[in-house]
Each structure stands twice: as structure tokens, then as C-alpha cells.
């Protein structure tokens, strides 16, 4: 490995590192978290018989989000008009398990929705989406149908595999997504060129 001389540390609270390695990593170019909700009404004919007894015209049923069966992917990437910032639309399929009124049978139901966020997405980066957590509610309507609402916490990122020479000092936490793209974010001169 070539000899590398580290620069001076700018913050005294950081311990000096003892080694510099060249590592291949997925670098996060943009990252934000977002709460997304979706609501769907399920006709009683799509539920098992007696899942909602005819005499039940109100109330709720137990509902849980199946994160392992749910998915979030990229649906469309549209330029925002600001260099390297694209409006990325994610498509989300959330699988929920609703427990019928008898308490024994469970019905899987899939809710679909989309969300669009502006993210720094230069050439060579790949948008990704992860469903971190989710909750749901299932409310019985007076007409015997079921209204299901899910609330999801998403982690939205743009990533590229790169070689880096960096020490590690902890974890990165995403900020809230921007409502709209404002100026160049981050600027193209955010980091100095590497040799």
C-alpha cells in the first residue's frame, strides 16, 4: 500500500487514528427519512365468511404490518431542473395481517401507495428504499366494509459503491426529506477532489 500522510485533526475531541485503510463501501450520497400513510377500503366479499359478523357495524380488528413481505422500490426518476437532484418516486406495497373478529383467522391484505422526494442523485448512484417500521389500524365501517390505514417509516437513499480512505467515528443519521429542491444540494464542491 502506498504511503499516506494523514492531515491534522480539526476537532480535538476526536481520538487520533492509528491506521488508514482503503476500503470498498456503499457510500450514501443522500439520505432522509419520511413517514408515509396509505388507506384502503376492503369490501366485505373479499374477506372470509364471518370475518366481520353482520351485527358488527362499528369497532376495529387487530392489524399488524408484515415488514418481511412488504416492499419498497423505485418507480420513476424525473429530473428536477436542479443539477444532479432528481424527483424520485418510490412504489410501496405494504402487507398487513388483519385478525378476524373470531380471533383465530388472519387475512393478509396488500396496500399500494407511492411517495416522491427530491434527492441528490448524480450519475453512478442508485436510489434505494427501506421500510424501517410500520403500524396499521383496521376499522369496521357501517356498511360492513373494512377501512385499513398504514403508517410507515421509510429510509430513502442514493448509494454508490466507492473506494474510501476514511476513519470511522460513529453512525450517520438521516435528516427529514426536503419538501422541494432548493438550489444545489449538496453543492458539487462539497468534497475536495481525490487523487
Cis peptide before 18 (omega within 30 of 0): no
What pLDDT is recorded for position 14? 65
Evaluate whether 112 touches 75 at the Cβ level (below 8 Å). Answer: no
Closest CA to 65 of 152, 155, 156: 152
Domain boundaries, given as residue ranges, for the chain: 32-163
Supply the pLDDT for residue 3.
46
pTM for the model stands at 0.74
Other CB atoms within 10 Å distance of the CB of residue 2: 4
User: In this predicted structure, which of 3-7, 27-31, 96-100 has the lowest mean pLDDT?
Assistant: 3-7
Task: Indicate the burial class of 109 (C-beta count within 10 angstroms; 0-12, 13-18, 19 or more).
Answer: buried
Q: Is the pLDDT of residue 86 over 80?
A: yes
Stretch 167-184: mean pLDDT: 68
Amino acid at each position: 500500500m502506498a504511503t499516506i500522510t494523514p492531515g491534522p485533526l480539526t476537532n480535538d475531541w476526536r481520538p487520533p487514528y492509528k491506521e488508514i485503510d482503503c476500503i470498498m463501501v456503499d457510500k450514501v450520497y443522500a439520505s432522509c427519512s419520511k413517514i408515509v400513510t396509505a388507506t384502503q377500503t376492503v369490501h366485505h366479499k373479499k374477506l372470509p365468511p364471518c370475518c366481520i359478523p353482520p351485527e358488527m357495524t362499528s369497532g376495529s380488528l387487530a392489524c399488524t404490518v408484515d415488514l418481511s413481505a412488504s416492499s419498497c422500490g423505485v418507480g420513476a426518476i424525473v429530473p428536477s431542473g436542479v443539477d444532479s437532484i432528481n424527483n424520485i418516486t418510490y412504489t410501496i406495497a405494504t402487507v398487513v395481517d388483519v385478525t378476524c373478529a373470531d380471533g383465530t383467522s388472519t387475512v393478509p391484505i396488500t396496500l399500494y401507495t407511492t411517495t416522491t422526494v427530491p434527492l441528490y442523485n448524480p450519475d453512478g448512484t442508485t436510489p434505494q428504499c427501506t421500510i424501517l417500521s410500520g403500524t396499521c389500524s383496521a376499522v369496521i365501517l357501517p356498511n360492513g366494509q373494512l377501512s385499513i390505514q398504514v403508517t410507515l417509516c421509510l429510509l430513502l437513499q442514493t448509494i454508490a459503491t466507492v473506494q474510501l480512505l476514511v476513519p470511522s467515528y460513529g453512525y450517520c443519521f438521516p435528516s427529514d426529506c426536503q419538501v422541494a429542491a432548493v438550489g444545489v444540494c449538496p453543492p458539487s464542491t462539497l468534497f475536495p477532489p481525490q487523487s
